[in-house]
Chains A and B, each alone.
Chain A
Amino acid sequence: MAEAVETPVHPVASRLAEWDAGVVSATETFRGELTVTVTRQNLRRVADFLRTAPDLKFDFLSDLTARDHFPAEPRFAVVYHLLSITHRITVRVQAWADGADPAVPSMTSVWPTANWHEREVFDLFGIRFDGHPDLSRILLPADWEGHPLRKDYSTRGPR
């Protein structure tokens, strides 16, 4: 994706590295915004840590969405935009999912607000969220075929 810009290490990135050096697979800063890439196996642990660590306290999940990099593999990136209302800091966390059977763990038990966001991503991208209490379509009718925000979905519709 974006070219990595040489900047001083972001405090949130260094805090994550200090907690568990192996958990972050990549970090980049673009226009002052930090993006932390983690594997989807580690996603739950990282989320728990980010939300509960007293000096980070990312208690507000602002947004949860995805990108489709078709035909590249891994195809999907699930993106979390976090905000700490207490400390006034933000971070973007992303995890990759394969195109064949895209799935990431659900964050509904960490941030309840993830519920509808995850349903939206499931609806429009077809990414499964393991552990979601009610993973069903939210914007499109239940009998809709296909996932419109995928890059191989024509803007003219499924036909």
Chain B
Amino acid sequence: MPMTFETPAGTGEAMVLSMGPQHPSTHGVLRVALQLDGETVIDAKPDIGYLHTGIEKSCESKTYSQAITLTDRMDYLAPLSNNLCYCLAVEKLLGLEVPKRAQYVRVLLTEMTRIASHLVWLGTHAIDLGAMSVFLYCFREREEIMKIFELVSGQRMMTSYFRVGGLALEPPAGWMDRVAAFMETFPGHLNEYETLLTENRIWKMRTIGVGVVTPEDAIAWGMSGPTLRAAGVPYDVRKYFPYSSYEEFDFEVPTRTESDCYARYLLRLEEIRQSMRIVKQAMGKIPAEGPIRTDAPGIVAPQRENMKTEMEALIYHFKIFTEGFSPPPGQVYQRIESPRGEMCTYVVSDGSPKPFRVKFRSPCFVNLQALPLLCQNRLIADVVACIGTIDIVLGEIDR
């Protein structure tokens, strides 16, 4: 796509430079057209769409349950958050209440997702700015979380573990020990990262005062998540519109006011600590036994044992997996706090077993739009820091 700029060039000779889509710091396939005056960025235009796979269109030809697998493939660093957002939306449409045990497991796993996602962010952001070792350590700890996801759902990444009405499977015996073991060792590792970066002179020079955005601009441009909170706006969906029993958990929403890359770095580390607090509370709350799926015949698949002994269960099982279920006509909008910000699912039902319209509000899509704001009048090297700091996942942006 040809890129044209309207902003006047500076005093020198302006040139247009295409950064990406193969540039390593653009995290996948993002292209940024930069208008440069020497090494100063006059304007930047992100060019997206390289990963567009028509997920929203595909959802319209799947049943409500089948569409869950597509949500994994959007934000592939936080598949469980996507699963949760979609399932909550469909549950709201149906008016379903999910058993507490399943809600707590959902909270625990989405907070683990947040930790894993922030670890990937930290590792890649650091490697973009030249700190190689942090990347290796972050991926070491993330692997432990991936193993827990595999233990629970059978998959490391494309989990599809949350289903409409509850969870796909009973979590395996002893899974909580693995979570406890991780929580035992992880705080020490987190401190290790801090010793590598927080007081590191190069790190501070690359991030302090870079990518500043005012709170007014952040709101006007629809930014959310750590980027918004680092500008001093305490908007966190978990506190504003609690879902999945978040109101029962004791945690804080960290905010900062400097609104630069360094502030966002400190803020995300604090978020990891708060997520650990929530995981610990969830570990205490999850009962050893109890239903993991709500009792909604015709919507939620029956237990395997019942299917073999009861005629109705067999019929429901057949109906659910051949035809699907039909929510009442209506439209709902479900917000959650994904690791990257306000993730929302808009589901419209026309009363048939397939969604009439599914729209995912991707926090990265909106945050990336403000990239020019962050890197105008700065150097090319700062563009790398700015792309890293807003934590984009192109799979979710392009959908």
- Contacts A88-B240, A148-B57 given; indicate if A139 touches B398 (C-beta within 8 A): yes
Q: Would B332 and A30 count as touching, CB distance under 8 A?
A: yes
Q: Does A3 contact B (CB under 8 A)?
A: yes
- Contacts A81-B346, A85-B235 given; indicate if A33 touches B333 (C-beta within 8 A): yes
Q: Does B209 contact A (CB under 8 A)?
A: no
List, in ascending order, chain A residues with CB within 8 A of B57's CB.
148-149, 153, 155
Q: Would A155 and B58 count as touching, CB distance under 8 A?
A: yes
Q: Would A148 and B54 count as touching, CB distance under 8 A?
A: yes
Output the least CB separation between A80 and chain B (Å).
11
List, in ascending order, chain B residues with CB within 8 A of A59's CB.
219-220
Question: Which B-chain residue is minimally distant from A110 (CB atoms)?
Answer: B220
CA of A148 to CA of B221, assembled, Å: 26
Output the least CB separation between A60 and chain B (Å).
6
Instruction: Indicate with 1 or 0, residue by residue over A97-114, a CB within 8 angstroms of chain B CB atoms.
Output: 000000000000001110
List, in ascending order, chain A residues with CB within 8 A of B398's CB.
139
Residues of A at under 8 Å CB distance from B?
1-3, 30-31, 33, 35, 59-63, 65, 67-68, 79, 81, 85, 88, 90, 92, 111-113, 115-117, 124, 137-142, 148-149, 153, 155
Output the least CB separation between B296 and chain A (Å).
16
Q: A33-B333, A113-B366 are in contact. List 10 more A-B contacts (CB 8 A).
A: A30-B331, A33-B331, A33-B332, A59-B219, A62-B335, A111-B222, A117-B366, A139-B48, A149-B56, A155-B57
- Contacts A112-B220, A139-B52 given; indicate if A31 touches B369 (C-beta within 8 A): no
CA of A139 to CA of B331, assembled, Å: 25
List, in ascending order, chain B residues with CB within 8 A of A137's CB.
49
List, in ascending order, chain A residues with CB within 8 A of B329's CB.
1-3
Q: What would be 6 A-B contacts, judged by CB atoms less than 8 Å apart?
A: A31-B332, A63-B359, A67-B357, A116-B369, A139-B48, A155-B58
- Among B49, B233, B331, B365, chain A packs the most CB atoms within 10 A around the CB of B331
Q: Would B333 and A92 count as touching, CB distance under 8 A?
A: yes
Q: Would B54 and A113 count as touching, CB distance under 8 A?
A: no
Q: Which of B93, B222, B357 contacts A113 (CB under 8 A)?
A: B222
CA of A140 to CA of B399, assembled, Å: 11
CA of A90 to CA of B361, assembled, Å: 15
Output the least CB separation between A142 and chain B (Å).
5
Output the least CB separation between A97 and chain B (Å).
15
| Contact-size category for B | 35 or more
Q: Does B342 contact A (CB under 8 A)?
A: yes
Output the least CB separation between B238 and chain A (Å).
13
Q: Does B187 contact A (CB under 8 A)?
A: no
Q: Does B330 contact A (CB under 8 A)?
A: yes
Interface residues of B in 368-384 (CB under 8 A from A): 369
Q: Which of B222, B330, B359 contacts A30 (CB under 8 A)?
A: B330
Q: Does B61 contact A (CB under 8 A)?
A: yes
Output the least CB separation between B217 and chain A (Å).
8
Question: Which A-chain residue is minimally distant from B367 (CB atoms)?
Answer: A113
Q: Would B344 and A62 count as touching, CB distance under 8 A?
A: yes
Instruction: Indicate with 1 or 0, residue by residue over B377-399, a CB within 8 angstroms of chain A CB atoms.
Output: 00000000000000000000011
CA of A116 to CA of B370, assembled, Å: 10
Question: Which B-chain residue is minimally distant from A3 (CB atoms)?
Answer: B329
Output the least CB separation between A33 and chain B (Å).
6
CA of A61 to CA of B333, assembled, Å: 13
Q: Would B52 and A140 count as touching, CB distance under 8 A?
A: yes
- Contacts A30-B330, A85-B233 given; indicate if A65 touches B49 (C-beta within 8 A): no
Q: Would A115 and B52 count as touching, CB distance under 8 A?
A: no
Q: Would B219 and A62 count as touching, CB distance under 8 A?
A: no
Question: Which B-chain residue is minimally distant from A63 (CB atoms)?
Answer: B361
List, in ascending order, chain A residues with CB within 8 A of B342's CB.
62
List, in ascending order, chain A residues with CB within 8 A of B220's CB.
59, 111-113
List, in ascending order, chain A residues with CB within 8 A of B288's CB.
none
Q: Does B130 contact A (CB under 8 A)?
A: no
